[in-house]
A and B are shown apart, each in its own frame.
Chain A
Amino acid sequence: MFFEGPTQKGGHMKCDDIKNLLSEYIDGALNENDKAAVSLHLDLCRDCREELNLIKNAISTLKTIQPVEPPQDFVIQVRKKIEARRGLKEAIRFLFFPWHIKIPVEALATVIIAGLLYSVYHESMPTTSTMPIREEGLVTQKKVAMPTEKNVIPAIEKKDEELSVQPVTVCVQGRGLSIDKDFAKEVKGEAQAPVRQEMPAPAPMEKEVEEDSCRMLKVGESSESTDGGGLFMAAESVVSCQSIKSGRRRGFSRSAGDSKRTLISLFINLKNPSVDVPKIKRYLLSLGASGVKVTALPNSSKKIIRFRLESRYFPKLINRLIQMKAINPASKYSNVSGAVVDIELVISFA
């Protein structure tokens, strides 16, 4: 908007231009020319005069603000803060100065402590048992008691790479023999046969048995899975337990869905079948065994109890059978590997 008045030579100033100079005009910060121009404009322009008064009023209002008093103990508060930060600074200085000495030392100490903690943690972690095979007893892990020269049959490499089932292991009256696929590769035919203490007549396995995957091997005989499941050899009469339940593989015990499960066969003697069998069954259930099934062998007085048990309860089962005098207490039974194990108790009645 242009003010209404005589036009000045050199152009008249617009109201917007004047308004932008009002603050400086109030502060006395304009040069003489601009000051005169603004004064002249203000004499003639009511709008700009009103704007000037409003700005002056705002400034005056600001000057009426009551000052605020800081807290009475402000100096003390400042002092406390200074001391607190000084303590922190000194702590940092203590920890990190001089840099070239303290940082490497502290880094090294950290690494050492971390390593110690890791090793302690690692030691405390449970490991799976890999007890070596013994001459007697039940063994499920990687070593094998090799037969004598006469009985040595070279192992054939396993063919099925997928098969990771634990080896067949059998216990013949406290004697154990195990062969696994890895060992099968290593066998050179020079191992010694386990010492035989007893050699009960092996029980024929009938096909009618529900999970009949076992057959008797004669001494020196080898068994090879037709589908490349692996090979194992018998230094004694043993019961080989082939594929179980899965129906897919033979040669090594295997249960569907658990490539790591071990099959264990235990030959036990009981005196009173009508009492002892239910007792054993109840005990198995108390250990949390699953799939407990008692089957009678046709044309035989023998029975088989098959079940699945967590490996950690296997020693308890052995102890119980020893207490019941079902197995030879002098026999040594190794721990089993894997989380769960399939067991069959082949019961002969005295």
Chain B
Amino acid sequence: MDEDISLIDEFLQGNESSFNRLVLKHQKRVFNIIYAILSNYEETNEAAQDVFVSVYRSLKNFRKESNFATWLYRIAVNQARNRYNKVKRIARVTYSIDDPIYAEEGEIERSIPDTNTAVNELEKKELNRKISDSISQIPMKYKEVVILRDVEGMDYMEIQNVTGLNEGTIKSRLHRGRCFLKDLLKKAGT
């Protein structure tokens, strides 16, 4: 967090490259929060860019007592919500064959596998696809809470700050979202 505040200070003094470093630091997490909600890479890319454009214009108003990451993720969740509501079909889109598949060792190539390792990768890919499919079917208001808690690992307080929801609502939506997911995964055979 101290690093974030330093970068913000430098940026506000006119150092544009500090903003670039801020983006580089947080881009992946922002990207994945949005991707988990939208389930579409291109839409996620557009939304994530808009998040940082919004941050660029609003940084002068950021109160440094707050947590920058929480503030940033709030913008990201709002952006994802807006896009989701605008194009509701995105939530129904299943895993796209054009979406890049990343494992720890990097992107998985889409060539026909002919080794056991490749088969394992394919199985991973298939599992990923089923999970993404299931997540995309969870209603939006439950999904965002589930993503922030179970994918991003935020605690209830952080989720409160990001979503603006009270704790009781968060607990309730979290439970409902997990039950949804449980049933979907059961149906998908995972």
Using an 8 Å CB-CB cutoff, how does the interface string of B175-188 with A read, 1 for contact, 0 for none? 10011011001100
Check if A124 is an interface residue, CB within 8 A of chain B: no
- Would you give the shortest CB distance from A318 to chain B, in whole angstroms? 71
Asked if residues B35 and A68 are in contact (CB atoms below 8 Å), the reply is yes
Check if A62 is an interface residue, CB within 8 A of chain B: yes
For A79, list chain B residues within 8 Å (CB).
20
For A58, list chain B residues within 8 Å (CB).
178, 181-182, 185
Known A-B contacts A57-B185, A58-B182, A68-B44; the reply to A82 vs B56 at CB < 8 A is yes
- Would you give the shortest CB distance from A291 to chain B, in whole angstroms? 67
Task: Give the CA-CA distance A27 to B107 in the complex, in Å.
Answer: 33
Asked if residues B181 and A62 are in contact (CB atoms below 8 Å), the reply is yes
Check if A113 is an interface residue, CB within 8 A of chain B: no
For A66, list chain B residues within 8 Å (CB).
101-103, 124, 128
In this complex, what residue of B is CB-closest to A80? B49
Known A-B contacts A65-B132, A67-B28; the reply to A20 vs B175 at CB < 8 A is yes
In this complex, what residue of A is CB-closest to B30? A70
Asked if residues B150 and A63 are in contact (CB atoms below 8 Å), the reply is yes
Asked if residues B131 and A23 are in contact (CB atoms below 8 Å), the reply is no
Known A-B contacts A54-B182, A58-B181, A58-B185; the reply to A65 vs B49 at CB < 8 A is no
Task: Give the CA-CA distance A85 to B57 in the complex, in Å.
Answer: 10
Check if B146 is an interface residue, CB within 8 A of chain A: yes
In this complex, what residue of B is CB-closest to A22? B175
Q: Report whether over half of chain A's contact residues are helix, strand or loop; otherwise say mixed.
A: helix
Asked if residues B131 and A74 are in contact (CB atoms below 8 Å), the reply is no
Within 8 A of B (CB), among A59-109: 59, 61-71, 74-75, 77-79, 81-82, 85
In this complex, what residue of A is CB-closest to B36? A65
For B103, list chain A residues within 8 Å (CB).
66
For A82, list chain B residues within 8 Å (CB).
53, 56
Task: Give the CA-CA distance A70 to B185 in the complex, in Å.
Answer: 27
For B186, list chain A residues within 8 Å (CB).
54
Asked if residues A55 and B20 are in contact (CB atoms below 8 Å), the reply is no
> Using a Cβ–Cβ cut-off of 8 Å, how many residues does chain A contribute to the interface with B?
30
- Would you give the shortest CB distance from A57 to chain B, in whole angstroms? 7
Q: Report whether over half of chain B's contact residues are helix, strand or loop; otherwise say mixed.
A: helix
Using an 8 Å CB-CB cutoff, how does the interface string of B157-190 with A read, 1 for contact, 0 for none? 0000000000000010011001101100110001
Check if B6 is an interface residue, CB within 8 A of chain A: no
Asked if residues B182 and A57 are in contact (CB atoms below 8 Å), the reply is yes
Within 8 A of A (CB), among B101-137: 101-103, 107, 124, 127-128, 131-132, 135
For B52, list chain A residues within 8 Å (CB).
78
Task: Give the CA-CA distance A63 to B147 in the complex, in Å.
Answer: 10
Asked if residues B178 and A59 are in contact (CB atoms below 8 Å), the reply is yes
In this complex, what residue of B is CB-closest to A59? B150
Asked if residues A75 and B20 are in contact (CB atoms below 8 Å), the reply is yes
Task: Give the CA-CA distance A79 to B99 in the complex, in Å.
Answer: 24
Task: Give the CA-CA distance A26 to B53 in the complex, in Å.
Answer: 38
Check if B24 is an interface residue, CB within 8 A of chain A: yes
Check if B31 is an interface residue, CB within 8 A of chain A: yes
Within 8 A of B (CB), among A6-62: 20, 22-24, 27, 29, 54-55, 57-59, 61-62
Check if B151 is an interface residue, CB within 8 A of chain A: yes
For B150, list chain A residues within 8 Å (CB).
59, 62-63
Asked if residues A64 and B127 are in contact (CB atoms below 8 Å), the reply is yes
For B174, list chain A residues within 8 Å (CB).
23, 27
B45 partner, pick from A22, A57, A71, beta carbons under 8 A = A71
In this complex, what residue of B is CB-closest to A21? B175
For A75, list chain B residues within 8 Å (CB).
20, 23-24, 27
B31 partner, pick from A54, A61, A64, A68, beta carbons under 8 A = A68
Check if B76 is an interface residue, CB within 8 A of chain A: no
Name which of A57, A64, A65 has the most chain B CB atoms within 10 A of its CB.
A65
For B101, list chain A residues within 8 Å (CB).
66
Known A-B contacts A20-B175, A68-B41, A81-B49; the reply to A74 vs B32 at CB < 8 A is no
Check if B100 is an interface residue, CB within 8 A of chain A: yes
For A61, list chain B residues within 8 Å (CB).
131, 181, 185, 190
What residues make up the interface of B, taking CB atoms closer than 8 Å to A? 20, 23-24, 27-28, 31-32, 35-36, 41, 44-45, 48-50, 52-53, 56-57, 99-103, 107, 124, 127-128, 131-132, 135, 146, 149-151, 156, 171, 174-175, 178-179, 181-182, 185-186, 190
**10 closest A-B pairs by CB:** A23-B175, A70-B31, A58-B182, A62-B150, A58-B181, A78-B52, A54-B182, A68-B35, A59-B150, A81-B53
